[in-house]
Amino acid sequence: MSFAAALERSARAYPALLRIGFAEAVAYRAEMLVWMLTATMPLVSLALWSAVAEAAPVGRFTQTRFTAYFLATLVVRQVTGSWLVWEMNTEIRSGTLSRRLLKPVHPLVTYSAENLSALPLRAALALPLAILTLVVVEPGALPSSPLRLGVFLVALLGAWLINFLTMATIGTLAFFLESSTAVFEIWLVAFMLLSGYLVPLELFPPWLRQAATALPFRYTLAFPVEVLTGMIDTRGMLHDLAVQWAFVAGSGALALLGWRAGLRRFAAYGG
């Protein structure tokens, strides 16, 4: 009952949260642009792998396929990234989290709206470039079936949720540790290696590929990219979507547990 009421309250507040979050994102657009430019690593990977594939394809990756893969990676990363851990770390340590705690809507809801409201600006910059290039380089690369497009959009949401909820879980460590950002750095290294951000996972040796399939990282990036670029068949796509959403549920439960345990320790210094 109260959970349903909380959901309804959050849903009603969400449009206003998104609108004001967007207004804030516009106010900080210059910072955002600089920050977005730091997330262009896939272009570096693209240059490297294109050079490698010049003479002969690597596995089933031709130069064109590498281009499609890394441009899709760039776009997916831009629209699903979350850096909530920094904000939570600052707010918990400085006590300014108090402001959120006084509101009758769960802080994770307000954080999520702030995260999502920056999305239009990020997408506005990343998407046209990527779509244009994809169309020019490999017209057949974009998903043609409505099912694939639908799965891609749900996978995109799932990828963002895993990222966001994991960042929230790591963020709650700031209630217990001096700083949770060190843990985030470890997560980031694992993400770089195992999400397909730098190297497509199918180029890994089998054991590492299998490990990557069992871990959440792939579902935050490579999976939606593979769906978009048609590298995965329909059956595999639906199976992996189910796995992805199991990770969403798991990371959601962890974030809520961490949050509940952390609040008991919150000291609200200074805030």
Partner 1 sequence: MAQPAARVHDLCKTYRIHERPPGLAAAVRSVFHRQYKDLEAVRGLSFSVEPGERIGFLGPNGAGKTTTLKILAGLLHPTSGEVRVSGFVPQRREAAFLKSITLVMGQKQQLLWDLPPAETFALNRALYGVPEREFAATMAELEELLGIAEVARKPTRQLSLGERMKCELAAALLHRPQVLFLDEPTIGLDVSMQLAVREFIRRYNERSGATVLLTSHYMDDVASLCRRVVVIDQGRLRYDGDLAELVRSLRPDKRVSLRLTGAPDREALERAGTVVELEAGRALLQVKQERLREAVGFLLGLASVSDLTVEDPPLEEVMRELFAPTDGAAAAPTVAEPA
Q: What is d(CA 79, CA 126) in angstroms, rounded to the nearest whole number?
A: 9
Least distance (Å) from partner 1 to the CB of residue 264? 5
Residue 105 engages partner 1 in binding (rule: CB under 8 A): yes
Helix (H) or strand (E) holding 47: helix 41-52
- Minimum Å distance from CB 115 to partner 1? 16
Distance CA 122, CA 125 (A): 5
Q: Which tokens go with 65?
A: 């396929």
Among 1, 37, 102, 242, binds partner 1 (CB under 8 A): 102
Q: How far apart are CA 19 and CA 15, in angstroms?
A: 6
Out of 42, 71, 99, 153, point to the residue binding partner 1 (CB under 8 A).
99
Q: Which of 7, 24, 47, 238 binds partner 1 (CB under 8 A)?
A: 24
Q: Which residues, numbered 164-203, are part of the site for partner 1 (CB under 8 A)? A: 178
User: What ranges in 95-204 are assigned the alpha helix state H?
Assistant: 97-101, 107-117, 119-137, 146-172, 181-194
Based on the shown chain and the rule CB under 8 A, indicate whether residue 148 belongs to the binding site for partner 1.
no
* Per CB under 8 A, 271 contacts partner 1: yes
Which token pair is 222? 């490579």
Going by C-beta distance under 8 Å and a sequence separation of 6 or more, which residues neighbour residue 109? 10, 13, 14, 17
> What is the footprint of partner 1 within residues 30-89 (CB under 8 A)?
none
Binding mask 229-248 vs partner 1 (x if CB under 8 A, - otherwise)? --------------------
Q: Is 147 in the site for partner 1 (CB under 8 A)?
A: no
- The span of 95-103, 120-128, 150-158, 227-235 binding partner 1 (CB under 8 A) equals 95-103
From the list 67-75, 104-112, 221-229, 243-251, the region that binds partner 1 by CB under 8 A is: 104-112
Residue 72's CB is within 10 A of a number of other CB atoms, namely 25
Q: Smallest gap, in angstroms, from Cβ of residue 85 to partner 1?
A: 21
Name which of 16 and 147 has its Cβ closer to partner 1. Answer: 16
* Lookup: tokens for 25: 């994102």
Q: Is 230 helix (H, G, I), strand (E, B) or coil?
A: coil
- Smaller CB separation from partner 1, 43 or 261: 261
Quote the radius of gyration of the chain (alpha carbons, Å).
Answer: 19
Q: CA 82 → CA 102, 160, 263, distances in Å?
A: 24, 7, 22
User: What are the respective helix, strand and coil percentages of the chain, to the nearest 5?
Assistant: 80, 0, 20
- Using CB under 8 A as the binding rule, whether residue 266 contacts partner 1 is answered as yes
- Taking contact as CB under 8 A, which single stretch among the options 66-74, 145-153, 223-231, 258-266 is the one that binds partner 1? 258-266
Binding site for partner 1 (CB under 8 A): 2, 5-6, 9, 12-13, 15-17, 20, 23-24, 27-28, 96, 98-99, 101-105, 110, 178, 263-264, 266-268, 270-271
